[in-house]
Amino acid sequence: MTHLLEVCNLHKSFTLHLIDGRTITPVRDVSFSVAAGEHLLIYGRSGIGKTSILKCIYRSYLPTSGAIWFDSQQFGRIDLCRASESVILRLREREIGFCSQFLRALPRISALDTLCEPLYRQQMDRATAQAIGREWLTRLGIAPELWQASPLTFSGGEQQRINLGRAFIARPRLLLLDEPTASLDDATKQVVIGMIRAAQAEGTAIISVSHDLAALGACADRQWTFQPAR
Amino acid sequence: MTSEHWLLHVEQLTKHFGPTCPDCRRLTGPDTGRSRCPRCGTVWACVDVNVQLAAGEVLGIVGESGSGKSTLLQMIHLAIRPDSGRIWYCDDGETPRDLLALDRYEARHFRNTRLGIVYQRPELGLNMRFSVGGNVAEKLLLAEWRHFGRIRARTAELMAKTELPPERIDDEPATFSGGMLQRVQIAKALASRPALLLLDEITSGLDVSVQARVLDLLRRIQWEDGITMLLVSHDLGVVRQLARRTIVMKNGHIVEAGLTDQILEDPQHPYTQLLVSSAL
């Protein structure tokens, strides 16, 4: 089986220059791989470095050592630890999506535009992008009277739905989901699980990080209980 | 950014003000926390600065006052001549040109047609004795537009784009509010359809709702026109909203460069860590 993503001996440490140059290492010697269409759930209590792994893959964090091999459509097999910033930006546009735990919405931008932004970045014309955006808003159960409002005025659950929509709408080949079901009610959790399954069926590989084993455990192909670094 | 095509490539750009001495370079820079040499008083505004800008990209430049951000911008605007280094410019499909090799006439023509600049203080970017229409027309005349009707039409178009009331086309800048003046400056900067927009602390000193309107305008320009922008700001929030890559300057040197989210979430340099932890 060929892997879409292969993480090899990943280390991530932070040097805190403002606190006597102290070093903390949340990710130590982590290796795993994910195939196209596969869903890996990384499970474990909070504060042990699960999110750091996702952020290293997305390159919001600079990995300290190791390699993250990604089988890119645009660039071939490429090490995300060493890829240039412009390559990472293009991968983020087309191939790798990330859904953070909290929506970082921009003020004054409507829910529809916030959701469609990844499509605008792909140079899709606005009318087509917004037609797709409206479908997703309906699917995510956001009431039409809210579509022109800024998500900053939304409830936590509604914000999270917009956040998830932003990650799925660009149809990436690899989706990184950080606590995707946190702050969602049971009905919406089922919608999200439906979205995950549909993306998998299209061949998208998914890595989710969660402590919500009840909701995500059932839809993951593999579960991995992450142990804190020593 | 849709291609690897770069628009601007700044190479080893250095600028100092003062007599220089043999110890200058050792006694200044981010490690010493000084830009001014304690022996001879020379100020090292930019030292070996390298920047590459992709076409359509917005690059953020952050750093404290006196870190060399504006000097860098002024050198790219061809208003301050660097001591050494190169500024390469390349329109899509053309051969790269070294802007520092242009003669005075060519440099002025380049600045008027391919560059636009917006300053923190409107009186630097605008002629305060001309009307709004006159200011936009000035830029167009410099870019060799000659037809009065076309100039007037372009001005009206730009006022609509920057949400300035069209009936105020003949009013003087002194009668406008601070936020409106920034939008007048943006209208003027965009007039000749430049390839590169240089933005120097343009929202500093504006109240938040006015600042928001200026940022909205820039975002719209970014989405609709795909203009390349160099955004100097000491406000990390502004940079986060607009720029996907950011460089951090201190005492004339680039101390860190990276994806904006990486700079903010995983800053490497002690100064960047201080900057990020100090932001509200």
Q: What is the CATH number of the domain that holds B207?
A: 3.40.50.300
- The alpha helices in chain A, defined as continuous H runs, are 50-58, 85-94, 111-121, 126-139, 156-169, 186-201, 213-216
Nearest to A59 among B4, B212, B262 (CB): B262
Domain count, chain B: 1
Mean pLDDT of A91-103: 91
- Position B43 in a domain: yes
For A120, which residue in chain B has the nearest alpha carbon?
B223
- Position B27 in a domain: yes
Chain A positions touching B219 (Cβ under 8 A) are 106, 109
Could you tell me which residues come within 8 angstroms of residue A77 by beta carbon, excluding any fewer than 6 positions away? A69, A70, A71
What is the distance between the alpha carbons of residues B280 and B273, in angstroms, rounded to a whole number?
13
For B237, which residue in chain A has the nearest alpha carbon?
A106
Could you tell me which residues come within 8 angstroms of residue A202 by beta carbon, excluding any fewer than 6 positions away? A37, A171
Distance from the A106 Cα atom to the nearest Cα atom in chain B, whole angstroms: 7
Residue type, B48: D
CA distances from B148 to A182, B11, B141, B157 (A): 61, 40, 10, 14
- Position B192 in a domain: yes
Chain A positions touching B262 (Cβ under 8 A) are 59-62
Distance from the A214 Cα atom to the nearest Cα atom in chain B, whole angstroms: 30
For B2, which residue in chain A has the nearest alpha carbon?
A90
**Which of B9, B273, B277 should one mutate to test binding to chain A, selecting the residue with the greatest count of A CBs within 10 A?**
B273
What is the distance between the alpha carbons of residues B253 and A119, in angstroms, rounded to a whole number?
36
pTM of the full structure = 0.90
- Position B1 in a domain: no
Q: Which helix (H) or strand (E) holds A14?
A: strand A3-16
Chain A positions touching B235 (Cβ under 8 A) are none
User: How many H-runs (helices) and E-runs (strands) does chain A carry?
Assistant: 7, 9
Question: What range does the domain containing B148 cover?
Answer: 6-278
The CATH number assigned to the domain with range A3-225 reads: 3.40.50.300
B143 touches chain A (CB under 8 A): no
What is the distance between the alpha carbons of residues B155 and B136, in angstroms, rounded to a whole number?
6
Mean per-residue pLDDT of chain A: 91
- Position B58 in a domain: yes
Distance from the B18 Cα atom to the nearest Cα atom in chain A, whole angstroms: 33
Residue B106 and residue B114 in contact, taking contact as beta carbons nearer than 8 Å: no
Q: Do B273 and A17 touch (CB under 8 A)?
A: yes
Residue A62 and residue B258 in contact, taking contact as beta carbons nearer than 8 Å: yes
- Position B44 in a domain: yes
Chain A positions touching B54 (Cβ under 8 A) are 86
- Residue for token digits 């000084």? B34
Q: Give pLDDT tens digits along chain B (280 positions).
A: 344 689 999 999 999 999 999 999 999 999 999 999 999 999 999 999 999 999 999 999 999 888 999 999 999 999 999 999 999 999 888 899 999 999 999 999 999 999 999 998 999 999 999 999 999 999 999 999 999 999 999 999 999 988 899 899 999 999 998 888 989 999 999 999 999 999 999 888 788 888 888 888 888 888 788 899 999 998 888 999 899 999 999 999 999 999 999 999 999 999 999 999 987 6
- Position B33 in a domain: yes
Q: Do A16 and B1 touch (CB under 8 A)?
A: no
- Position B224 in a domain: yes
Phi, psi of A133 (to 5 degrees): -60, -40
Nearest to B265 among A61, A106, A120 (CB): A61
Q: Do B265 and A55 touch (CB under 8 A)?
A: yes
B153: left (phi over 0), alpha (psi -120 to 50) or beta: alpha
Q: Which of A89-98, A149-158, B26-35, B69-78 has the lowest mean pLDDT?
A: A149-158
What is the distance between the alpha carbons of residues B111 and B113, in angstroms, rounded to a whole number?
6
Chain B positions touching A106 (Cβ under 8 A) are 219, 241
What value of ipTM does the predicted structure carry? 0.90
Distance of CA A130 to the CA centre of its chain: 22
Q: Do A60 and B265 touch (CB under 8 A)?
A: yes
- Residue for token digits 């659950």? A157
Distance from the B248 Cα atom to the nearest Cα atom in chain A, whole angstroms: 15
For A17, which residue in chain B has the nearest alpha carbon?
B270
Chain A positions touching B274 (Cβ under 8 A) are 17-18
Phi, psi of B34 (to 5 degrees): -130, 145
For A118, which residue in chain B has the nearest alpha carbon?
B223
User: DSSP secondary-structure letter at A106?
Assistant: P
* Domain locations along chain A: 3-225
Mean pLDDT of A89-94: 94
* pLDDT for residue A185: 86
